[in-house]
Amino acid sequence: MKRTWNWKAPAVICSGLGLVVLGCSTGGANAESPAPESMKMMAQSRVNVTNLYNDTCGKCHGVNGQGGGGGTKSLNTKDKFDQKWDRPFFDVIKKGVPDFGMEAYGETMSDEVIWAMVVHIRELQAKALRAEFGGPQAENGVYKGTRADYRIETVVDSGLKTPWAIDWLPDGKMLVTNRPGTLSVVVGGKVVGSVTGIPKVIELGQGGLMEVAAHPNYKDNGWLYLSYTEPGKENSGAGFTKVVRGKLRWNGNNAQWHSQETIWEVAQDNYTGSGVHFGCRLVFDKGYLYFGTGERGNGNRAQDLTRPNGKIHRVFDDGRIPTDNPFVNTDGALKSVWSYGHRNPQGLVMDANGGLWDTEHGPRGGDEVNLIKKGANYGWPNFAWSINYNDSPLNVPWDPSGKISQPAFRWLPSIGACGLDLARGAAFPAWNGDLLAGGLSGANLDRIRMKDGKFVEREELIFGMGRVRDVSVAPDGTVYVALNQPDKIIRLVPAN
């Protein structure tokens, strides 16, 4: 994404963490001459994180983090890879280890550059640990997990094209969205039919047909919900996320979509040709519908309450706006906004205690698991756990004012978080209540345990089988995973 370096209030940088930052004046920006900190940030955007680490730190810590020089130990241990070391690492780099010859880099590096050093170390660690330990491996088809043993079965291996989401109807039929715009009907592991007459989508980069979700009372009301990228009315090459519901008229294994109602759509001036960051999972709870929209590559709009980008929204399941939404009385604000400052939430789920969780993409490093709170700001693009794709520093994760909601867990490096569900049902009682989160570029499925909103443990269940697009727990508790490259659906079943 494109961004400029002068968006951040100087006060934020200068007071940053209460630590010494070179070039900061407490008087704030002066209109006549460029503020020294914005000059520093322009210089910072030219920093190459890898080169800086190699030149400055490599002689002691090794260019791969292996240690050995200047009395250093390896950084590449499972313990040091844990997120609990983020802040201690940052502080050590800032303050140095004078007794061992490591200087205080806070005197020559900005906080953003120091955080970028931590991100770089995380990338080195991940590479080294993957080379040493690999991913989960089966023995005689059985994966020995830390809390439950499982097998992986292929469910569907043909007939799908970039499958994006999975849901089930009460009669056991499985519905799968294909991103280019078709909705497949799957029975017994085979694509046996499709739903025709669904809205026309535009497959714009990461956008297209996204979520499918049956209403919790589907048996009684027959409502099926879809989220998708709708082509613009004035400019058909542009698009924006839209949510609709409709009903199915069956004819054998094929169904006709009818009685469509719009649940949520935005004004045409929001439609854009950007091919990134669309959201959009649907979550039902107590008559409400929650869903996320990505910022479409326009980070500043994630902070703008008048824009639909980069938000979690909450409406009634028929699309009406609840009067207790946090910004219904804020002038100009979009009334459906429930929380803001999101980059691209592609995972959303409600836990058994009514906690709403999202997973979302950072740029390079710093994908997040957030507990979503009413009216809260999740910080993007002003605070992030990542660096830029081009290896230059971005910003620091911590907000000195304490107003920004922090993730309960962050993936560093990024996994390309996509797809999230809650372990429940009979198949894996030992996982009950845990988050099951997928990764596109990480090609992983992680089980993450939270307690009272806090991270407890992470276990990688799948690695390297394809890009994980959706995770969906079936009514029997087995865990379905939609993959792409190759396009297929697999599932985790208990080993015994």
Binding site for ligand HEC (CB under 6 A): 56-57, 59-61, 67, 70-73, 75, 80, 89, 92-93, 97, 100-102, 105, 117, 121
Do residues 117 and 57 lie in contact, with contact meaning Cβ atoms separated by under 8 Å? yes
CB 419 within 8 A of CB 469: yes
Compute and round to an integer the Cα radius of gyration of the chain.
Answer: 23
Region class of 232: left (phi > 0), else alpha (psi between -120 and 50), else beta: beta
Helices (H) and strands (E) in the chain, counts: 7, 26
> Rounded to an integer, what distance in angstroms lies between the CA atom of residue 388 and that of residue 299?
13
> How many Cβ atoms are within 10 Å of 215's Cβ, its own excluded?
17
Minimum distance from CB of 71 to ligand HEC (Å)?
5
Minimum Å gap between C-beta 100 and ligand HEC is 3
Rounded Cα distance, 121 and 363, in Å: 16
Give the nearest distance from C-beta 72 to ligand HEC in angstroms: 4
- Phi, psi torsion values for 45, nearest 5 degrees: -65, -15
> For ligand HEC, which is the closer residue by CB, 98 or 402?
98
Catalytic-labelled residue, pool 61, 120, 277, 342: 277
**Residue labelled with tokens 């907000």:** 399
Q: State the nearest-atom distance from the C-beta of 70 to ligand HEC, in Å.
A: 3
Q: Which is nearer to ligand HEC, 59 or 451 (CB)?
A: 59
Taking the least distance from each CB to ligand HEC, the nearer of 69 and 486 is: 69
Backbone angles phi, psi at 280, to 5 degrees: -160, 95
Closer to ligand HEC by Cβ: residue 115 or 431: 115
Write down the least CB distance from residue 74 to ligand HEC, Å: 8
Give every CB contact of residue 422 below 8 A, 6+ residues apart in sequence: 349, 350, 351, 352, 433, 434, 435, 436, 473
Nearer to ligand HEC, 122 or 314 (CB): 122
Residue type, 354: G
Contact call for residues 366 and 352 (beta carbons, < 8 A): no
Six-digit token pair at 71?
Answer: 């009395």
Residue by residue, DSSP assigns 429-443 as GGGTT-EEEEETTTT
342 is catalytic: no
Minimum CB distance to ligand HEC smaller for 76 or for 184:
76
| Nearest approach, Cβ of residue 97 and ligand HEC (Å) | 4
Q: List, by residue number, the catalytic residues.
A: 277
